[in-house]
Amino acid sequence: MFTAVTPSTDKRMAEIVEKVRQGERLTLEDGVYLYESDDLLTIGQLANEVNLRKNGKKVYFIENMSLYFTNVCESHCAFCNFRKDQGEEGAYTLSGEEMVAYVEQHITPGVREFHIVGGHNQHVPFQYYVDSLKALNERFPDITLKAYTAAEIEFFTRISGLSTKEVLTELQKAGLKTLTGGGAEILSDQYRQKMKVEKANVDQYLDVHRTAHQLGMKTHTTMLYGSIESHEDRIRHMLQIRGLQDETNGFMVFIPLSMQPRNKNAGIMRRNSAYEDLKTIAISRLMLDNIQHIKAYFINIGVQLTQVALTFGASDVHGTILKEQISHAAGALTPDGLTRKELIWLVKGAGRIPVERDTFYNEIEVYE
């Protein structure tokens, strides 16, 4: 039975609580209202109730490793501090063999997944990206390749002349098992124009994931929030993801990504508040009734706030990561990875049950 933490005479909030308890879908107007409400505790408690129904007290993590083959990129997105131009100081493009050597030097026992993203490097052919996966798959056949964003896939279609389906099929042959969720930013073409998101548009992002789902892949999806978008923009983003999930049932997890400033020395006023981060995670849980997991990404919101997020609707804390670069290039102040022991401590510290998983949420070990 749901009981509000703080007594409220807010009729609109009571209606939303009742809708959620009855399994009725929230609307655009409901989502915007939740964002504009200051009743964070009721929103969080309601999201917690939904998550407990879906996942109980289990919180999932994976031992994974982040890899970046290249930071050379044709795009100049306003929020990105990772990209470089060809020949610029710090620019690099690694061959498959070089990446294998890097992995052999840094990998830890138990890694089950490579999380692979990078720049849209137009100076190499599509075959480079295929061969990159092939080299890893041949050397580490038991590690799942979670690679490339939908924006990268759309880029590959342009440099190869192949269709989305053909690009994905070639990558699957090389070992690709699932797509990362990045490249979504905010699913609004107006937003993308203002923020100079010089990559896949809204329809292209959704179509890449639709095609991947049709090919049998389960994928991830994100929302990068905290810049110029409105609350309505965020809810419309969630509704588009929810709509595609209704169609394909191919998304495993939704990942709200808190925007990072471009400078690590940026002050508190240039960062999203903890209040906004928790509210976004909770509202994501309430709006996305057809997606099993909402992820609290400790790289962006910090370890301790991630613990709090586990009672605001989140059921996943990502993974060990090992040397994350993109958010840290943009100003993240958090660790660039955690160990398995630290992730277990993080989850248990929030009164939840840590569950080590594989990429597809099959349980490997439950740490009671």
Which pLDDT value is given to residue 119?
Answer: 85
Q: Average of pLDDT values for 322-331?
A: 45
Which pLDDT value is given to residue 337?
Answer: 62
CA 38 to chain CA centroid, nearest Å: 26
Q: Average of pLDDT values for 214-222?
A: 98
Decide if pLDDT at 118 tops 70. Answer: yes
42-53 pLDDT, tens digit per residue, is: 999 999 999 999
> Under CATH, which number does the domain 13-361 receive?
3.20.20.70
Q: Average of pLDDT values for 190-215?
A: 94
Query: Which residues are annotated as part of the binding site for S-adenosyl-L-methionine?
Result: 79, 185
CA 295 to chain CA centroid, nearest Å: 7
Secondary structure E strands in the chain = 58-62, 64-67, 113-116, 144-147, 176-178, 219-225, 251-258, 293-294, 316-319, 353-357, 363-366
Percent of the chain predicted with pLDDT > 70 = 90
Decide if pLDDT at 9 tops 80. Answer: no
DSSP assignment of 22-47 equals TTPPP-HHHHHHHHH---HHHHHHHH
135-150 pLDDT, tens digit per residue, is: 999 999 999 999 999 9
- Higher per-residue pLDDT: 72 or 57: 57
Decide if pLDDT at 255 tops 90. Answer: yes
The answer to whether the beta carbons of residues 336 and 321 sit under 8 Å apart is: yes
Q: Name the pLDDT band for 329 (thresholds 50, 70, 90).
A: very low
Domain boundary assignment for the chain: 13-361
The answer to whether the beta carbons of residues 253 and 243 sit under 8 Å apart is: no
257-279 pLDDT, tens digit per residue, is: 998 665 555 555 567 899 999 99
Q: Which residue, 307, 300, 293, is CA-closest to 344?
A: 307
Which pLDDT value is given to residue 198?
Answer: 81
309-319 pLDDT, tens digit per residue, is: 999 999 999 88
Query: Which residues are annotated as part of the binding site?
Result: 73, 77, 79-80, 185
80-105 pLDDT, tens digit per residue, is: 777 888 889 889 999 999 999 999 99
Helix (H, G, I), strand (E, B) or coil at 243: helix
Which residues are within 8 A (CB) of 55 and not within 5 positions of it... i.e. 6 or more apart?
A: 292, 293, 315
Query: Which residues are annotated as part of the binding site for [4Fe-4S] cluster?
Result: 73, 77, 80
Which residues are within 8 A (CB) of 246 and not within 5 positions of it... i.e. 6 or more apart?
A: 290
